[in-house]
Structures are given as C-alpha cells and as structure tokens.
C-alpha cells in the first residue's frame, strides 16, 4: 500500500507543478476535482468510481506542461496558431502518462476532457456517449471553474451566469444529463464551499491590481511574505481569529512569485483522506483504488 501511495503522490505532484506555471489558475485543479467529486457523488456512482473521477479532475491539465509560457499566460485572445498549440495538451498529457503504473486511473480524463457531445471537440472528435464518463464530467466542471474564476484581465462570472451558459450549451458542448445535474447542484448552493477557494476553507486572496488570484497555502504561517503570481507584488499573511488577510509589503519578486512548486502539505492531506475514511468505517482512497 505504501508503494501505491507514493505512486499516487507522484501524479498529484506532477499536476501541481504544471498548474504552478500558470499565473492565473491557482487552485483550479483542486476546484475541478471537488466539483467533479460532487457531481459523481450526486449521480450515486460507486465510491471507487467517484474517487477515480475526482482524481481525474485533479490531473486533467497535466499536458499543459508542453504549452509555452507565452501562450499559457497570454492575457488576451489566442491567435489561431496559439489555439492549435493549446489543443495539443490532452495528447501531451496522455503521452506523459504512457509508462506510469497508475495511468489507467486518469488517462480518460486527461485525454478526453475537451471532447464534446456534438463531435466538434479535440483531440479525437469523439461524440456523445463515446466520450468516457469521467471526461464528460470534467469537461463540465473545468468550464464552470474557468468561467467563475477571476483573471487579471477579467472578473469571474457570477454563478448564475455561468450556469446559464452551461444550460445554453447542453447537448452540444456539454453532456445534457450530466450538465443539468451539475446546474441543479449549483442552483442549490452545493458548489459554494468550493467556489473561489484554493483549498478547503481557504478563499482566494485579492491583489488590488490583479484581483483574487493569490492562492495562499493553508500551511503558510502568520507573517510570511507571499507574492501575486501575476504582478509579483509582495503581501504579508495575517491570520487572526481564523480569518486570512493580506497586507502589501512593497516588495516585488518575480522569481519567487512564479517559481513552480508543488504544495506537498495539500497533497499529503488529499492522501490522508484515506485515513479519515477508514476511521469512519469506510474504505479510504487507496483501498478504493487498489483494493
């Protein structure tokens, strides 16, 4: 079981290092994973399938490691050529997973999350139910998070507008049945504890010039300096009465702001869910995935 734990940790670590290259998407993988878990659980799928779908949500953007920074962090509309580069990331991710012992757990999510029911997605133009279930789920949750997350060049949409866009595109861009179930979760407020957060209970923090795009690790101590991933401005962390706040320091450090690194503490907590499930008399993540 320890060997399986370490292999699973490598997947989480790979995904986090890729996300850290993108200045705008702190917490995206965690949110997509949690949204996917909520939808899979609402569908009353077997628990091992729910956990695999959540894991696929965390790993779905692995292939963006092959996208140049100039394209990945471009603040405006992509050119046709740049969009073609972005469209390579599902296959790049699948290629990276090729020899990993746990590839089968997440391959469908990584390779197929941009396939669409109308057959106009990529990379293989799959249509309808030919798209694996995990990919149909992650396609919805990925799009919802992209719409509701703030970027330095635009504010995130209100939940109601994002859900309306999902509904307008059911059956074409998004699976109709799964999309409607996700919309119902959103309308019932079941997504609110994930929305705008980078970890459980940790809301994204706001840079005055760039918006709420600063993901503060829950383990970061009071008084530590952290940097906006876009403008590289420095902020001092303040934790008082269980409330998190940032105050400008006047510092600026692009190197520290954009240094890719995995949040090992968050990864360990994700893996520790196994122990908490066992304590409640339920199989944990590793048991569900590996028996």
- Least confident piece of the model among 12-16, 29-33, 56-60, 264-268: 264-268
Tokens 């209100």 belong to 158
Residues 79 and 219 placed together within one structural domain of the fold: no
Taking 70 as the threshold, does the pLDDT of residue 153 lie above it? yes
Which one-letter DSSP state was computed for residue 282? S
Assign 151 a pLDDT band (cuts: 50, 70, 90). Answer: confident
Rounded-to-integer distance, Cα 94 and Cα 118, Å: 22
- Least confident piece of the model among 37-46, 65-74, 255-264: 255-264
The pLDDT of residue 278: 44
Nearest to 7 by CA among 96, 94, 103: 103
Q: What is the pTM of this model?
A: 0.92
* Average pLDDT over every residue of 281-287: 58
CATH number at residue 94: 1.10.3210.10
* 4-8, 83-87, 243-247, 258-262: which is most confident: 83-87
Residues 62 and 99 placed together within one structural domain of the fold: yes
The pLDDT of residue 279: 45
The pLDDT of residue 277: 45
Residues 185 and 105 placed together within one structural domain of the fold: yes
CATH number at residue 218: 2.20.28
Residues 164 and 108 placed together within one structural domain of the fold: yes
Residues 88 and 225 placed together within one structural domain of the fold: no
Residues 123 and 222 placed together within one structural domain of the fold: no
- Continuous H helices in the chain: 2-19, 28-42, 47-59, 69-72, 80-86, 89-97, 103-112, 133-148, 159-168, 176-187, 254-257, 264-279, 285-290
User: In this structure, is the dihedral angle defined by the CA atoms of residues 181, 93, 128 and 50, taken in order, positive or negative?
Assistant: negative
Residues 128 and 18 placed together within one structural domain of the fold: yes
Tokens 């008399």 belong to 281
Residues 211 and 146 placed together within one structural domain of the fold: no
Residue-wise pLDDT for 108-137, tens only, equals: 999 999 999 999 999 999 999 999 999 999
Taking 80 as the threshold, does the pLDDT of residue 290 lie above it? no
The pLDDT of residue 286: 61
Task: Look at the chain and report how many structural domains it folds into.
Answer: 2
Assign 288 a pLDDT band (cuts: 50, 70, 90). Answer: low
3 state SS of 21: coil
Assign 266 a pLDDT band (cuts: 50, 70, 90). Answer: confident
Q: Which residues contact 11 (CB under 8 A, 6 or more apart)?
A: 55, 58, 59, 100, 102, 105, 106
Residues 112 and 239 placed together within one structural domain of the fold: no
Q: Which residues contact 258 (CB under 8 A, 6 or more apart)?
A: 21, 23, 229, 232
Taking 70 as the threshold, does the pLDDT of residue 274 lie above it? no
Residue-wise pLDDT for 56-109, tens only, equals: 999 999 999 999 988 988 878 899 999 999 999 999 999 999 989 989 999 999
**Three-state SS across 214-230?**
ECCCCCCCCCCEEECCC
Residues 15 and 135 placed together within one structural domain of the fold: yes
Domain ranges, residue 220: 202-258
The pLDDT of residue 283: 57
Nearest-5° angle of CA 134, CA 139, CA 142? 115
Residue-wise pLDDT for 169-219, tens only, equals: 999 999 999 999 999 999 999 999 999 999 999 999 999 989 999 999 888
3 state SS of 101: coil
Residues 21 and 101 placed together within one structural domain of the fold: yes
Residues 270 and 173 placed together within one structural domain of the fold: yes
Phi-psi region of 121 (alpha: psi -120 to 50; beta: other; left: phi over 0): beta
- Least confident piece of the model among 130-144, 161-175, 211-225, 270-284: 270-284
Tokens 């320890």 belong to 2
Assign 287 a pLDDT band (cuts: 50, 70, 90). Answer: low
């Amino acid at each position: 079981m320890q060997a399986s734990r370490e292999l699973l940790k490598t997947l989480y670590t790979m995904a986090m290092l890729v996300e850290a290259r993108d200045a705008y998407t702190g917490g995206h993988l965690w949110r997509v994973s949690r949204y996917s878990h909520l939808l899979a659980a609402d569908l009353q799928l077997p628990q091992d399938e729910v956990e695999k779908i959540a894991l696929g949500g965390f790993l779905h953007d692995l292939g963006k490691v092959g996208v140049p920074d100039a394209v990945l962090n471009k603040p405006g509309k992509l050119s046709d050529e740049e969009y073609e580069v972005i469209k390579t990331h599902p296959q790049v991710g699948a290629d990276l997973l090729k020899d990993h012992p746990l590839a089968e757990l997440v391959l469908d999510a990584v390779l197929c999350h941009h396939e669409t029911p109308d057959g106009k997605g990529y990379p293989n133009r799959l249509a309808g139910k030919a798209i694996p279930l995990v990919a149909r789920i992650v396609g919805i949750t990925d799009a919802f998070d992209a719409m509701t997350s703030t970027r330095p060049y635009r504010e995130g949409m209100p939940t109601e507008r994002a859900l309306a866009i999902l509904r307008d595109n059911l059956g074409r861009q998004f699976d109709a049945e799964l999309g409607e179930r996700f919309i119902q979760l959103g309308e019932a407020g079941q997504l609110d504890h994930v929305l705008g957060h980078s970890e459980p209970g940790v809301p994204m923090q706001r840079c005055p010039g760039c918006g709420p795009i600063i993901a503060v690790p829950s383990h970061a101590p009071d008084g530590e300096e952290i940097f906006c991933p876009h403008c590289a401005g420095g902020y001092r962390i303040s934790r008082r009465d269980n409330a998190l706040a940032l105050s400008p320091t006047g510092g600026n450090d692009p190197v520290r702001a954009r240094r890719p690194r995995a949040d090992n503490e968050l990864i360990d907590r994700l893996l520790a869910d196994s122990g908490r499930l066992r304590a409640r008399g339920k199989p944990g993540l590793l048991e569900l995935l590996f028996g």
